[in-house]
A = this chain, B = another copy of it.
Amino acid sequence: PFCHCLKFLCHMVTVYDQENFQGKRLEFTSACQNIMDCGVDNIRSLKVECGAWAGYEHSSFCGQQFVLERGEYPHWESWSGSNAYHIERMMSFRPICSNHKESKMVVFEKENFMGRQWEINDDYPSLQAMGWSNNEIGSMQVQSGAWVCYQYPGYRGYQYIMECDRHGGEYKHYREWGSHAQSFQVQSLRRIQQ
């Protein structure tokens, strides 16, 4: 339901209910809406074996978002990045569909696709270094692939996952970026890698 390319791309994640890949261990190849339905109270470490995933603080894909690419995440801090609030919870997750090489999006200075615009098809650890005039993005239109935007330069702070397959790729106000978004502040962004 989330990703039309799921049938072509492998996705696999192994989650553990204790830190450092200890405790109860579960494998998934598709979305999990509530880890408690699998008899686990929380995810405390994980290994992405294949594909890219989005993790969420709450069940039903709500709350803080965490982009998860292939590799090992031994504890909450290893996937959360630096965030304004520290709640060691990941209760749901789902695969992300992304074609890293062909990702394209347009960022707009103002909400509702207004103001100055800029077409992007690369990673930007500092938008300002590349000529964007301030520390905010008003709205975004994802034309292909999946992206992660960050509050601070160098891929730090809140993560906002943006996909062409969701919302029709349209994110016209920060209220559509996720329930944890509290401002238009975005200072770096990059393509999500399978």
Contact surface of A with B, Cβ cutoff 8 Å: 48, 67-73, 77-84, 123-130, 135, 148, 151-157, 187-188, 190, 192-194
Question: Contact at A194–B129, with CB atoms within 8 Å?
Answer: yes
Question: Contact at B155–A155, with CB atoms within 8 Å?
Answer: yes
Q: Return chain B residues, CB-CB under 8 Å to A151.
A: 78
Question: Contact at A67–B129, with CB atoms within 8 Å?
Answer: no
Question: Contact at B82–A126, with CB atoms within 8 Å?
Answer: no
Q: Return chain B residues, CB-CB under 8 Å to A154.
A: 67-69, 79, 81, 148, 155
Q: Return chain B residues, CB-CB under 8 Å to A126.
A: 48, 69-71, 193
Chain B residue at minimal CB-CB distance from A78: B152
Chain B nearest CB, measured from A121 CB (Å): 14
Question: Contact at B70–A128, with CB atoms within 8 Å?
Answer: yes
Chain B residue at minimal CB-CB distance from A74: B152
With A and B bound together, what is the CA distance between A143 and B116 in angstroms?
Answer: 38
Task: Please list the 5 inter-chain residue pairs (A to B) with the smallest Cβ-Cβ separation, ordered nearest first.
Answer: A71-B153, A70-B129, A69-B126, A77-B82, A155-B155
With A and B bound together, what is the CA distance between A152 and B157 in angstroms?
Answer: 15
